[in-house]
Structures are given as C-alpha cells and as structure tokens.
Amino acid sequence: MNRTWTVLELLNWAVPYLEKHGSSSPRLDAELLLARVLDCPRLGLYLRFDQPLDAAELAAFKDLIVARRGGMPVAYLLGEKEFWSLTFKVGPEVLVPRPETEHLVEAAIAFLEEEPERSARVIDIGTGCGNIILALAHHFRERKHLSWFGIDNRPEALALARENSRQLGLDHVVFRVSDLFAGFKPGLDAFELVLSNPPYIERAALAGLSPEVRREPAAALDGGPDGLDFYRRITVAARDFLEPGGGLLFEVGAEQAGAVKKILASSGYDAIAGRCDLAGHERVVSGRKV
Ligand code: GLN
C-alpha cells in the first residue's frame, strides 16, 4: 500500500472487508479499531474523514483488521469493553461483558431499592472482569451500608477485576479467589443478594460457536452437558449463605428460563420470577430464600 489513505477511504475499504469475513458489526469494529490507532474518540473520526494516515498508523490498522478477520473479538484487540457506561479492562482470560447482562444489573438494583435503608451484602459468583459487581458498586457508591463481593475460581480473572476496581475508584469491592462459596463459612458469612451470570452453554454446542466466541475462555462458557450445571450448583450452595428473604438472581440463556425456574422451585425458593429483555426473552430469573 504505497498510496495515501484517508480515514474515509480506509473505512470504506475495511467495513465491507470485515462484513465479508463474518463480522456482524463491521462498521462499529472498523471505527473502534481506527479510532484506537489514531488515539481519538470513535465519533472524532467523522471530523477527520480527509486526514491521511502515516505509514505507521496504516500498518497498525492493517494488523488490527487482520486479527479481527481471524475472529479475535474487538474487545480483546482494544483491551477494553464498555458495560453499564463504564470502561472495563478485558483480555482473553475473561468473558467479554455483554449488553444483555445489564438486565441482571437492573434486576439487582430493583431488588436493593425495595429496602433502600437496609444494609446488605451482595456477592457475584463467577465475576470475571468484575463488570456486574462493579457496575452495582458504582451505581450505589453513595450507599455506605452496602458491601460488595466478587468471586471467581480463576486468579487471572480476578487480577483483571481488581485492576478494574482500582481504575473505577471502587477499592471497597472485595474480590476473592473461591470456587463457589468454598472460601466462605456458612453461619458466619451471609448475604442478602447472590448474583451470577454463570457459564450456560451446553457442552456439545461449544464447538459450533462462532470463531469469535470460541476465543473466549471455555471455563466462562461451558455449562456442562445440558448447560445448567452451574444453576444447580449455585442454587443449592446459596441456600446456606442467603439470609431468609434474600434474593438469588441469575442471567440465563435465551431458552433456559423455564428450566432454571424449576431448579429454584425444587430447591425450595419462592417468589420465583423471570424478567424479559427487549426481545421479549426471559433473561433474568430470580427467587427468594424462604
Ligand atoms: N460476570 C461476567 C459477565 O457477566 C463473567 C461471567 C462468566 O464468565 N460466565 O460478563
């Protein structure tokens, strides 16, 4: 590429190129990657359509587009992802936060707002980069009577979660390496709210996921033979750690709400309910410990 390329010309080339290679959001991808190379906000590109790129910028953009074409998620290329209007550091060691998970944050806010003065301990199981618990801690940052815990059995995920808590000025959120509640003591440790977006893909379906999703850690996706292993384990384990009346809130896969409600019912939870996303799918299932 010896000729000069402007911002607009590069976008006009990269968008159809990424589309042809399977990206479902080629314009957004191309813009985010070009904005990273030029170190400007994405919308700033629209003010610089005629700006030519120098050779180093051009080479950097080309490398990113080639990696993206190979299925690397944009969030891993950028090292960050927006969730709940906050910026989270992410990498291949954690699931990329998804917009649909914001429904779980909304459900948790609604639960905690039922009794705004009550002190409550909230725990997020399988916290990954910490997006859920940190979004909540940020939303409720003035409420000093709420405390926040994020656990994950993978230390490399927690390292990122801790970096995110520092970056967001939310150092009071406690992150702990723990396989479910293994690091906690029944009777001593009790929570008003247990949250999780656990791995929920059926194991046999993993190989058929898009190349992009297959770049994400299997440990964050694999929900066992029927995808429901973690719902069963967490539902049973949480009974020993929830206060009476405490809430259990799950994100579930698009077709899993019915099965997860049954799991909660068979473990003796009550007030079992689902919450729909914008497409009308129940993506959050909740219950209360009796
Ligand atoms: N809690 C993180 C999220 O919802 C990671 C969940 C996971 O790894 N399954 O994005």
| Distance (Å, whole) CA 208 – CA 188 | 43
In which band, very low, low, confident or very high, does the pLDDT at 278 lie, cut at 50, 70 and 90? confident
State which of 80, 82, 93, 95 you would mutate to test the pocket of ligand 1, scoring each by most atoms of that ligand within 8 A of its C-beta: 95
DSSP H helical ranges for 21-154: 26-38, 55-69, 74-78, 102-113, 131-139
- Do 128 and 196 form a contact (C-beta atoms < 8 A)? no
Flag whether pLDDT at 34 surpasses 60.
yes
Question: 3-state DSSP call for residue 246?
Answer: strand
Same CATH topology for 7-70 and 91-289: the answer is no
**Per-residue exposure over 225-252, b if at least 16 CB sit within 10 Å of its own CB, e if not:** eebbbbbbbbbebbbebbeeebbbbbbb
**In this predicted model, what pLDDT tens digit does every residue of 158-194 receive, in sequence order?**
999 999 999 999 999 999 999 999 989 998 899 999 9
Residues having CB within 6 Å of any atom of ligand 1: 95, 97, 101, 126-128, 131-132, 197-199, 220
Domain edges within the chain: 7-70, 91-289
**In this predicted model, what pLDDT tens digit does every residue of 76-94 receive, in sequence order?**
999 999 999 999 999 999 9
**In this predicted model, what pLDDT tens digit does every residue of 128-168 receive, in sequence order?**
999 999 999 999 999 999 999 999 999 999 999 999 999 99
Q: Which atom of ligand 1 is nearest to the CA of 83?
A: 10
Look up the CATH superfamily of 91-289.
Vaccinia Virus protein VP39 (3.40.50.150)
Measuring from atom 3 of ligand 1, which residue has the nearest CA? 97
Measuring from atom 5 of ligand 1, which residue has the nearest CA? 128
**Contact residues for 117 (Cβ-Cβ < 8 A; gap 6+):** 145
Instruction: Tell me which fold the domain 7-70 belongs to.
Output: Helicase, Ruva Protein; domain 3 (1.10.8)
pLDDT at 2: 67
Flag whether pLDDT at 53 surpasses 70.
yes
